[in-house]
Amino acid sequence: MQIYSVIFVSAILLLTAAALLVSHVWAWRASQRQELDTGERDYRRRQFRRRMHTSATLGLLGVAVLIGYLLTLWFQASWLALVFSASVMVLLCWVVLLAAMDIWATKRHFGRLRQDCLVEQAKLEAQIRRIQAVRGNGKGETAARQPKSPRREDGVD
């Protein structure tokens, strides 16, 4: 009965890894069809490599779980189970580390893009203020310099 749960977990890990690998390839091909600058293309290439590595390692983890269970059935040596379990845990930690590095790199990349957009927005807003100051916000230079008429007491202009 326990073999079914191990096979189920291994199959889920393998199917998930396969689906992720296919989706990464699709995303990479889609990014190759786009007109990207060299910095963005380099980021996408590194992202593709990171994610392919992580997904393939996840699939390897699924195979390792099944092999580890079968080895413990065939060989009753407790040291073998301990060494193999430790190896699987190291592999799992590697997957978590790769995923964390991908999260960090993605956050850093989009933070840089956001900062570039904010700088560009500030430049454009300053340019708009300069143009409005010169043109008087569309009212003409003389209208911009004329004093406002006093308001009537009843509040109607």
AA letter at 100? A
What is the structure's pLDDT at 3?
A: 85
pLDDT tens for each residue of the chain, 157 residues long: 688 998 999 999 999 999 999 999 999 999 889 988 888 899 999 999 999 999 999 999 999 999 888 888 887 777 887 888 899 999 999 999 999 999 999 999 999 999 999 999 999 999 999 988 888 655 555 444 555 555 556 555 5
What is the structure's pLDDT at 147?
A: 54
Burial bucket for residue 56 (CB in 10 Å: 0-12, 13-18, 19+): middle
End-to-end CA distance of the chain: 88
Q: Are 52 and 21 in contact (CB under 8 A)?
A: yes
